[in-house]
Chain A
């Protein structure tokens, strides 16, 4: 326990005067405390100290607010990734690192290319067009055996 730890009796006065200055509790109670402050030196002392120290508190509330660098969140998550070897955060079905945007563009380009090919095709199919073979009608190419 530190040397500034309050004794019980002292604490009772401090709590009461603190509540009194904060305007807490009932009017009756406050009147009672006001009477004790007026009459008892120990209460008077705590009251005077507390009025003074509240000015210090006011000065502290005006202290500048410290701010972290903008990359802090990234730094923390990077540290977590590093320490857990990437196993800490839940993986999505296809993983977090799948470049969905790039994949969507590639897919659109592929569909457009296929559409163009079908449009340019004579048959309306992606399969290469096959010209019908010339017909051979009894010209002697095939000679029946005697």
Chain B
């Protein structure tokens, strides 16, 4: 942890509102990306991301600096996602795995947050959107323990060590779950390709 991060933490513990805003600005997109990929729904993901930061603010005293701050933050994020998944499952929420169809339009309108520097050709954009939906759908069908490792490793590109710290799982279990999750994803994708041809 560098001096800048320590100073931010001190200010957070002093409940400095500006420090909270700085923290949010620094981590918002990554936290949201995790919640979105875990939940598959933008509105739920935004709500959970907000709850994550509120929890961090409330419990910052409990962070003991034994791990990186980001690791602690992602642990809080993952726990919130798991709780929300359980809650949604209880409510039989059928929108859980729905990819928000308006998302691309919203994001492009918000300044091109998604997409490359040049707009893709319409057919390629459709292809990309279909692939996006297909992958998100496949991720949504994984059980939450497998979804966590895939999101953290393959989408967020975190190391196995970090994932072990975040999930509290041993190295072998993480690698093994990752392998099984990827197998399940591949199966799902192959089934889709089979249906299309």
Contact = CB atoms under 8 A, between A and B. Distances in A.
B71 to A, nearest CB: 20
B182 A56 contact: yes
Interface secondary structure of B, over-half rule: helix
A79 B32 contact: no
Contact of B135 (A2, A46, A59, A90): A59
Contacts of A75: 50
Nearest to A96: B17
B33 A57 contact: no
Interface in A11-55: 11-12, 14-15, 18-19, 46, 49-50, 52-54
B114 interface: yes
Interface residues of A, number: 41
A15 B184 contact: no
A127 interface: no
Interface in B20-61: 20-21, 24-25, 28-29, 32-33, 36-37, 42, 45-46, 49-50, 53-54, 57
Contacts of A88: 15, 57
Contacts of A12: 172
A72 B46 CA distance: 9
A47 to B, nearest CB: 11
A70 B146 contact: no
Contacts of B153: 57
A139 interface: no
A56 B186 contact: yes
A63 B135 contact: yes
A137 interface: no
Contacts of A60: 135, 139, 150, 154-155, 185
Contact of B176 (A15, A61, A67, A68): A15
A4 B180 contact: yes
B143 A4 contact: yes
Interface in B135-189: 135-136, 139, 143, 145-146, 150, 153-155, 157, 171-173, 175-186, 189
Contacts of A68: 28-29, 32, 46, 49
Contact of A49 (B24, B53, B110, B183): B183
B115 A64 contact: yes
B114 A65 contact: yes
A68 B45 CA distance: 9
Contact of B182 (A54, A63, A70): A54
A123 interface: no
B32 to A, nearest CB: 5
A80 interface: yes
9 contacts: A2-B145, A2-B146, A4-B143, A18-B179, A61-B155, A69-B46, A72-B32, A76-B24, A80-B20
